[in-house]
Structure 1
Amino acid sequence: MGTSNIQTYHQSTSNQNTVKLRELLKTMPSFCRDYFRGIEPTTTAKTRIGYGYDIRTFFRFLLAQNPMFQDAQMTDIRLQDLEQLQPVDIEEYLEYLKYYKYEDQVFTNDERGIKRKFSSLRSFFLYYQKRDLIKNNPTVVVDMPKLHDREIIRLDSEEVSELLDLVERGGDNLSGMKKVYYEKNKLRNIAIFTLFLGTGIRVSECVGLDVEDVDFRNNRIRIIRKGGKEEYVYFGAEVAEALKNYIKEERVHVKAKEGHEHALFYSIQKRRISVQGVENLVNEYTSQITTFKHITPHKLRSTYGTALYQQTGDIYLVAEVLGHNDVNTTRKHYAAMDDAQKRSAADAVTLRKK
């Protein structure tokens, strides 16, 4: 298996983000280019474009809310202007992020979104402070927002069975073009859901797969993790069967668009399926299984991680398979009690003797 085809998808995605960042920087103060050039060796293009959008949001806040920047354009902002800001300005920005409007569009951020944007801003200020380009850094005085633990949403074993049954037999009640579309993509959809639930890979790793990345001799796939690291993920018999059926019986008949010949999974347009396409597919099927839980590809990853831990009891194995750098993150997410364990507490305490 050569590596050239793998890099085609991930490199093209990286190139697109690099171009987006360059276009974005044209609208921002000129000194910002130094920051993004400085963090380039230690970040991916995806991370840099994320930082770019976050810092642009901060500049928009200054122009809209801070009297010091009244009637100014974003490109007018100078580095020494940022040095005049006080901690209260940063606190006002964090409050602003909860709900704001820009060009008649409403934006909101939960506590995780606010923390991420503040982290981006703190990194931005620290870059210039470390280089003695600014003396005052108001972001280090403001405390990082506290995150509250959230219930980990995942499918239970019965819901997993229901989901796979639906994907396999969901066309029985369809007619017309819906029936045709279902049959045309049935084996692809079974392969995608089985792969998520049987390996715990990320949606970006799934869409980045080329057919050459599937190794049936060793029952493994080659993926590119976050940060560009190449790894092998092993799969069991159910995943192998689903992938073989799809590749041999459905994918072989797809006449791919130019530049997409090596993709493992295709959209109806015969191009590599997109992240959005997979997210829509997951929502379409899981919403028929449960309306109580909002299931995304990442929740299918959580489902796999929880099942793997419950079967093995090995949190280090779970961390390794899922590609986590910090086992404490894994333990927090996947070693939690499941619903069946919690349910057992309901009848454990008797309030009144009969």
Structure 2
Amino acid sequence: MWEASINGFKVHLRMERSLSAHTIEAYERDVKILTRYLLQAGKPVGPEAISLEELEGCVRWVAELGMTATSQARMISGIRTFFRYLLLEDMVPHDPSQLLEAPKTPRKLPDFLSVQEIDAMIAQVPEHVGFKKDPKSGQYKLDPETGQKIPNDEHLVQRNIALLETMYACGLRVSEAVGLRLSQLYFQEGFIRVTGKGDKERLIPIGDSTVEHINIYRKDFRSRIDIARGHEDILFLNRRGKGLTRVMVFLIIKELAALANIKKNISPHTFRHSFATHLVEAGADLVSVQEMLGHESITTTEIYTHLNREYLRDMLVQFHPAFNR
């Protein structure tokens, strides 16, 4: 019964909810933890007969094994999704997970960059790809014969600048950035079309400055690359004419942060956090930010209202009557 239910659950997640293979594997793993607990506890009951007490016993079991509160919450979420599916398909008489409580988990606030820090990282792009500065003048050295910067790998400079500008200006996930296609650029209308989690699409406004960086990269440098078959529509390409990997973008950003002497824990997702934080701090409403980020729940977006404590205090001092008596 368990195997058939899990297989049906996976089909449901893939076909009905359009979740990624990675997410489906995570849900399957959550349910299989439950089946392992029932086996070791000597309770060989099927999903149609399982009780809330047995679910709570599973949670206690994984906690005793050392599973963190965050991982427990993740597992419980998967189990709840599984039983909601079974109830929807009339495979169980009721949902025993409805009253299953998740442990309290601390809400970790993500690091974000200031506008000045983002500018500092972008300013390091030429240095990062190998252009050398004269230590006295601070200018990039030129080849005396060609008059070009050394080495002349300006394609990577323009690509990396356009990549970072797009990630920050549009709040993209790294997977969305490396998967961005020429056919998804609607510059005349001022939007790009992004394919996010679960193959869900959304439209995101794009500013003139970012459009200009992308167009410089496309017209002056991307057009000179021998593009590999199957990658003709991919916007950001590597030297071999193939799409960038997420790992490559991660390394680029890590190295640029080090060159800019930024000590924060930086990743590609930091640019997305910065996009959202700066919007909220400037007064954008959460529903609009949620739409641009592609968050399924507004509660995910609400974390950005807590990022800058000093900013929130300034708002209180400025607007709250108790601070203006």
Partner of residue 74, structure 2: 116
Q: 1:267 to 1:116 in 2, by over 3 A?
A: farther
The whole-number CA distance in structure 1 between the counterparts of 2:12 and 2:282 is 45
Is contact 1:282–1:297 with CA below 8 Å preserved after alignment?
yes
Q: Secondary structure in 2 aligned to 1:319?
A: helix
SS where residue 306 of structure 2 aligns? coil
Separation (CA, whole Å) in 1 of partners of 2:65 and 2:31: 9
Corresponding position: 1:284 with 2:252: no
Within the candidate set 27, 40, 49, 1:67 is matched to 40
Aligned mate of 1:87, from 42, 46, 55: 55
The structure-2 alpha-carbon separation of the partners of 1:200 and 1:133, relative to structure 1 and needing over 3 Å to count, comes to closer
Structure with more of its chain in helix, by fraction: 1
What is the number of equivalent residue pairs in this alignment?
297
How far is 1:190 from its partner? Answer: 0.5
**Contact 2:14/2:24, CA 8 A, preserved across alignment:** no
Contact 2:112–2:274 (Cα < 8 Å) also in 1? yes
Change beyond 3 A, Cα 1:280–1:182: farther
Q: Within 5 Å, which residues of 2 pair with 1:232-271?
A: 232-271=203-242
Q: Which of the residues 336, 340, 349 maps onto 2:306?
A: 336
* Helix, strand or coil at the partner of 1:83: coil
Report the Cα distance in structure 2 between the residues aligned to 1:81 and 1:336, rounded to whole angstroms: 42
In structure 1, C-alpha distance between the alignment counterparts of 2:241 and 2:178, rounded to whole Å: 13
Deviation of the 1:147 alpha carbon? 2.9
Where in structure 1 are there 5+ consecutive unaligned residues? 1-27, 71-76, 100-109, 345-354
Residue 271 of structure 2: aligned partner: 300
Q: Is the 8 A contact 2:159 2:217 kept in 1?
A: yes
Which deviations, in whole Å up to 9, do the C-alpha atoms of 1:209-245 show, x marking residues without a partner? 1123223333332222334343332222321221011
Equivalent residue number for residue 20 of structure 1: none
User: Partner of 1:86: helix, strand, or coil?
Assistant: helix
Alignment of 1:124-139 (within 5 A): 124-129=82-87, 131=89, 133-134=91-92, 139=97
> Would the alpha carbon gap of residues 93 and 334 (structure 1) be closer, same or farther in structure 2, given more than 3 Å must change?
same
Q: CA distance change for structure 1 residues 34 and 314 in 2, over 3 Å: closer, same or farther? A: closer
Summarize the Cα distance change of 1:311–1:261 in structure 2 as closer, same or farther, 3 Å threshold: same
Q: TM-score, normalised by structure 1?
A: 0.69
CA–CA separation in structure 2 for the residues paired with 1:111 and 1:248: 50
Find the aligned partners of 1:136 and 1:181 in 2 and give their Cα distance.
67
Distance 2:65 2:241 in 1: 40
CA shift, 1:140, in A, is: 3.8
Find the aligned partners of 1:255 and 1:336 in 2 and give their Cα distance.
46
Partner of 1:3: none
CA distance in 1, matches of 2:32, 2:288: 43
Which stretch shows the higher mean deviation, 182-191 or 157-166?
A: 182-191
1:80 to partner: Cα distance: 6.0
Query: Following TM superposition, by how much is the alpha carbon of 1:183 offset from its aligned partner in structure 2, in angstroms?
Result: 4.2
Amino acid at match of 2:228: K
Structure 2 length-normalised TM: 0.75
Code of the aligned partner of 1:192: L
What is the Cα deviation at residue 185 of structure 1?
Answer: 1.4
Checking the alignment, whether the CA contact within 8 Å between 1:208 and 1:263 is kept in structure 2 is yes
Matched letter for residue 37 of structure 1: V
Contact 2:72–2:102 (CA<8 Å) still a contact in 1? no
Residues 13, 19 of structure 2: 8 Å contact kept: no
Q: Is the counterpart of residue 150 in structure 1 residue 108 in structure 2? A: yes
Q: Which of 28, 32, 38 is 1:55 aligned to?
A: 28
Asked if structure 2 preserves the Cα contact closer than 8 Å seen for 1:87 and 1:141, the reply is: no
Deviation of 1:163 (Å): 1.0
Say what the alpha-carbon RMSD is for the aligned residues: 3.6
Q: For residue 333 of structure 1, what is the amino acid of its counterpart? A: I
| Residue type at the aligned position of 1:83 | I
Determine helix, strand or coil for the equivalent of 1:233: strand
